[in-house]
């Protein structure tokens, strides 16, 4: 059975949601960028075997992301300077 558009979009959103849970700024941005680029690159695939192959790989990557997020939480570090929001007071 060929995956439909709703299943693909659901997987895409789930990958983005899970990748945004990375505590590390660099890992988070890298994962988000890779997910978006990968789906954008493969949006015009027509071959069902190819589509299913890419979706299978995406599901495996989702499990890896979930596992790495948990591990990252165990070894949480301070936020980077660029992650902090600075609010300036006007005098």
Residues of 70-83 as b/e, b for ≥16 C-beta within 10 angstroms? eebeeeeeeeeeee
23, 34, 5, 36: which is closest to 83 by C-alpha? 23
Which carries the bigger pLDDT value, residue 88 or residue 10? 10
What pLDDT, in 10s, does the model give residues 21-63?
998 888 899 999 999 999 999 989 888 899 999 999 999 999 9
Q: pLDDT value at position 1?
A: 54
Distance CA 8, CA 3 (A): 7
Residue 77: pLDDT above 80? no
């Amino acid at each position: 059975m060929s995956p439909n558009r709703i299943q693909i979009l659901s997987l895409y959103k789930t990958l983005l949601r899970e990748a945004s849970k990375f505590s590390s700024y660099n890992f988070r941005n890298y994962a988000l960028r890779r997910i978006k680029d990968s789906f954008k690159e493969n949006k015009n695939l027509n071959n069902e075997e190819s589509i299913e192959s890419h979706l299978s790989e995406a599901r495996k990557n989702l499990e890896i992301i979930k596992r790495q997020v948990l591990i990252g939480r165990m070894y949480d570090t301070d936020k980077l300077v660029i992650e902090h929001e600075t609010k300036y007071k006007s005098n």
